[in-house]
Amino acid sequence: MNKESILSALKELREKNQKRNFSQTVDLIVILKGLDLKKPEHKVDSFIVLPNQFGKKIKICSLIDKELVQQAKETFDKVITKEQFPLLKKQEIKKLAREFDFFVAQANLMVEIAKYFGKSLGARGKMPNPKSGCVVPPNANLKLLYEKLQKTVRIQAKSELAVKCQIGKEALPDEELAANVLAIYDNLIKILPGEKTNIAKILLKFTMSSPIGVRDE
Q: Sorting pLDDT into bands at 50, 70 and 90, what band is 217?
A: low
**Domain spans of the chain?**
3-55+151-213, 60-149
| DSSP for the chain, written as a single string | --HHHHHHHHHHHHHHPPP-SS-PEEEEEEEE-S--TTSGGG-EEEEEE-SS--SSPPPEEEEE-GGGHHHHHHHSSEEEEGGGGGGS-HHHHHHHHHH-SEEEEEGGGHHHHHHHHHHHHHHTT-S--GGGT-EE-TT--HHHHHHHHTTEEEEEESSSSEEEEEEEETTS-HHHHHHHHHHHHHHHHHHSTTGGGGEEEEEEEETTS--EEPP--
Residue 216 in this model has a pLDDT that exceeds 80: no
The mean per-residue pLDDT over the stretch 201-208 comes to 95
The matching CATH number, chosen from 3.90.1150.10, 3.40.50.2000, 3.30.190.20, 3.30.420.40, for 3-55+151-213 is 3.30.190.20
Superfamily of domain 60-149: Ribosomal protein L1/L10, domain II (3.40.50.790)
Q: What is the pTM of this model?
A: 0.89
Residue 21 in this model has a pLDDT that exceeds 90: no
| Average confidence score pLDDT of the chain | 95
Fold match between domain 3-55+151-213 and domain 60-149: no
Residue 1 in this model has a pLDDT that exceeds 90: no
